[in-house]
Structure formats: C-alpha cells, structure tokens
Amino acid sequence: MPEEGRPRRWWLLIGLFAVVSLAVYGIARLQPFEPSAPPAAAVPAGDAANGETLFVAKCAGCHGQGGAGGGIGPALVDTGLDAPSVAGVIAAGRGAMPAGLFTGQDAADVAAYVAGISGGGATPPATTGGATTPAPAAGGTVQLTGDRLTGIRVRLDQPAPVSWGVWAEGPAGTRRLASIPPASALVVVDDAGLGPLVQGVDRFTVGPTADAPALTAPLGADEAGRLRTLFIGDPDLPDGASTLDAASGQVAVMRDHIRFLVLARQERNLANIRFHGEHMVNLAYGNPPEDVDGNGDPSNPGDGVGLLGPEGGRPGYTARLAATGPEAAREADAFTLVVAEIATAGRECGAIATVEASDACVATIGDRSGELRRTWAALRTGALRSATIALEAP
Ligand code: HEC
C-alpha cells in the first residue's frame, strides 16, 4: 500500500501549515500595542491556535463563542488581559468558574488564545494593579483602558449585592455608563463616550443609585494631569507627544542603532562602529550630546530627552515613567540597568582604536537588545497599571 501513504502525508503537511499559520497569527494578535514588545511576564509559550480549540471545548459555554460573552461568564474580548493573568485565573478559578480547568501546556495555550482575543499583550488587568493600591474589603478599582483612555473597566472586590450602576460625575452633570448585574463583580465599557481620558469626569461612582453610591473613585485634577502627560500628550516633550509614545519611540531608535552597530562590526567599518557607539551614549543620556568618537560632531539620532536623561538635567524617560507609581518604579530599575550597560559599552565602542578591539563592546551591546525590549515592555506595563483608581466607600 505505498500509494496510500502519500496523500496522507500531504494532509499532514497542510494541517501542519494551518497550525503554524494560526499560531503565528495568534502571536501577532498578542501584541497590539507594539509589534516589537513581548508579553510582559514569562509564562510557558502558548499555542493560541490549540488554545482556541480548548477554549471552545471548556470555556465557551460560559464565556460565549470567541469569548464574546452571553453565558454566565463575562465577555473576554477587549478586556486587556495578558497571558499570565489569564493563566492565573485558570489555575485559581474565579467566582462560578472552577479552578484548574486546564493545567500545564494546555493552560498556557488557552491563556495565549484568551490574551489574543482580549487584546491584552501589554495591558494588565486591574486585579494585579490592585496589589499596589490596597483597597478596603468593600472596594474595587476603576481602570481607564485603551490607548487614549476612552474606556473603563470596573472591578469590585465583592460582587454587587443587587443590580448596581456605574456613573461619571463632572461639571456637566452625572451620566450612567454601565450596569453591574447582581452577583457580578466586573464590568467593561470599551468606550465610555467621554472622549480621551474620560474628559470632564471628577469622579466615578458605583452603587444602587447615583445619589447614594456605595463606592467612589475620585479623579482629581492632579491625577488627571498626570495621566494626560503619560497617555495623551506632554507639552514638555518634543512635539508634545505622550510620555509612553515618546519613550517607546526612543527604545525603538536605540534598538535600530544596536543593529547598525552590529552591522558595522560585520562590515569592519571602524568609523561606523565608533559613530553608533556614540549614539548609544547620547540616546541614553540625551542632550547636550557628547562627541564620544571625537569627530568634532556630537551626534544624537534620538529626540534629545534621553532614556535616562542627562545627569542633573531635566528628567529622562525612565524617571518620568518611574514617577507614575510603585509598579513602574520597580520595573524602571531593571530597565535603567540595561540602558546604562549599553551606554557604558557604547562609550567604549565610540572611542575604540581598531575593529578587532571592538568585539567585546559590540557583543555586550548586541546581547542586550532583547533585554532592552523585555525590560521596556515591563516598564510600559507598570506605567499602564497606573491608570487605575481605587474605588472606596465615600
Ligand atoms: C462555569 C462557567 C465558567 C467556565 C466553564 C469558565 N469560566 Fe471563566 N469565568 C466565569 C465567571 C462567572 C467569571 C467571573 C467571576 C467573577 O468575576 O467573579 C469568569 C472569569 C474569567 C476570567 C477573568 C475575567 C476578567 O476580566 O478578569 C477569565 C480570564 C476567564 N474566566 C477565563 C476562562 C477560561 C480560559 C476558561 C476555560 C478554561 C473559563 N474561563 C471557563 C465562568 C466560567
């Protein structure tokens, strides 16, 4: 029966191709914000395509087809959950959802799929953010979501006892944004219809009526201003960009120039090794740029702010992001370390005497590119978590 083996093998190949394409598609969907950023935390790599099959089998009954909702579980699409958080929920269960529906690689695969449909490659859920803002027993969080903070995600520490509403209060009045059904603890509104940074909101309220809210989350002018510079725009930055966008851009420029540096070494181009070495220093410390390679022309391919900023000068991106909260501050330390190592090696490459002598500094920098991306993704995630306001008894 030798002829029979052949068509089978073809089907196998076609099937394999389909699985690989789906997996690649799933991985691409995991990273909606920044194609170059990996998911923030390390979990076993999940196969989203397989995860979809598993999801249909055990999750869709409660969360709806494609996680669109409709069952007793909340919708999972566009909730901004990342794979580690989903894996956590699968392991521990939640509310009516049993713990351990999947374990091991299966759990990782489902988590990858859910992170994909929830668009949460980079946005963490409010639960983990809540760890930094300990809420009282009866409390919760309001997380502003979306790249321009147009959505809200309200999570209660304890389920609503009866049907509750969510309102936005501002100078223009009070507006009902959503309902929380009895025994539910989560509501997600993709677009609250209030413009970027949920404009004109002084506070969110949650409870049985707008007049007698059970919980409130004030959005003070200071807090709103802080979130505005972080997500929408900062007049103190070139082109008035938001801190997150501008910093993201500078990380990308540094990674480009790391590639150029490695290429210059491959091409044995001493002038370019020194040139891109100088760029590492100036991208890290900003303006005024240093003439590290001594060619009489201090050069900075970046925007001059500097990932770390000039010592004693105006703050660089890391300090600006670290100031957003404890999560970001912690991640900023790891990021700073990597950038500083790159800059130190860049200073060496920038003044190197021969192509051969540059091997060590080029290798040090080339090796740090992935770590630069990883620590940046973590810092960015930390900063995103700062868009979470605690809900407390009024
Ligand atoms: C028996 C019904 C049921 C099944 C089956 C179920 N869930 Fe759930 N799930 C729920 C409910 C209900 C909640 C909300 C609980 C709460 O918030 O108190 C939930 C919450 C979640 C959350 C948290 C949502 C958020 O925004 O924080 C995730 C993620 C999740 N489920 C994923 C899954 C996955 C993946 C599967 C399959 C392995 C699954 N669920 C199977 C009922 C279910």
Q: How far apart (Å, rounded) are the C-alpha atoms in residues 310 and 48?
A: 43
Nearest CA to ligand 1 atom 22: 89
Q: Does the pLDDT of residue 151 top 90, yes or no?
A: no
216's tokens: 């409130």
Q: Token pair for residue 221?
A: 């002018």
Residue closest via CA to ligand 1's atom 36 equals 59
CB-based contacts of 107, cutoff 8 Å, min separation 6: 87, 90, 91
Q: Over 60: is that where the pLDDT of 39 sits?
A: no
pLDDT score of 255: 97
- Classify residue 233 by burial, with Cβ atoms within 10 Å: 0-12, 13-18, 19+: middle
Confidence (pLDDT) at 43: 46
**At 72, is the pLDDT very low, low, confident or very high (cuts 50, 70, 90)?**
confident
Indicate whether 336 pLDDT > 90: yes
Distance CA 160, CA 292 (A): 61
Return the closest-CA partner of residue 218 out of 237, 234, 202: 202
The band of 22, judged by pLDDT with boundaries at 50, 70 and 90, is: very low
**Residue 333: count of CB within 10 angstroms of its CB:** 12
Quick one: what percent of the chain has pLDDT higher than 70?
Answer: 84
Note the pLDDT tens digit of each residue in 154-179.
Answer: 999 988 888 899 999 988 888 898 99
pLDDT digits (tens, 9 = 90+) for 255-314: 999 999 999 999 999 999 999 999 999 999 999 999 999 999 999 999 999 999 998 888
Residue partners of 173: CB distance under 8 A and separation at least 6: none
Which residues have C-beta within 8 Å of that of residue 16, sequence separation ≥ 6? none
Mean pLDDT of 345-354: 98
For a pocket test of ligand 1, which of 85, 86, 97 has the largest count of ligand atoms closer than 8 A to its C-beta?
A: 97
What residue ranges line ligand 1, CB within 6 angstroms?
A: 58-59, 61-63, 72-74, 76, 79, 81, 86, 89-90, 94-97, 101-102, 110, 114, 125, 185-186
Q: What was the pLDDT predicted at 325?
A: 85
Read off the pLDDT of residues 361-373 as tens digits, 9 standing for 90 and up. 999 999 999 999 9
Over residues 119-130, the mean pLDDT reads: 41
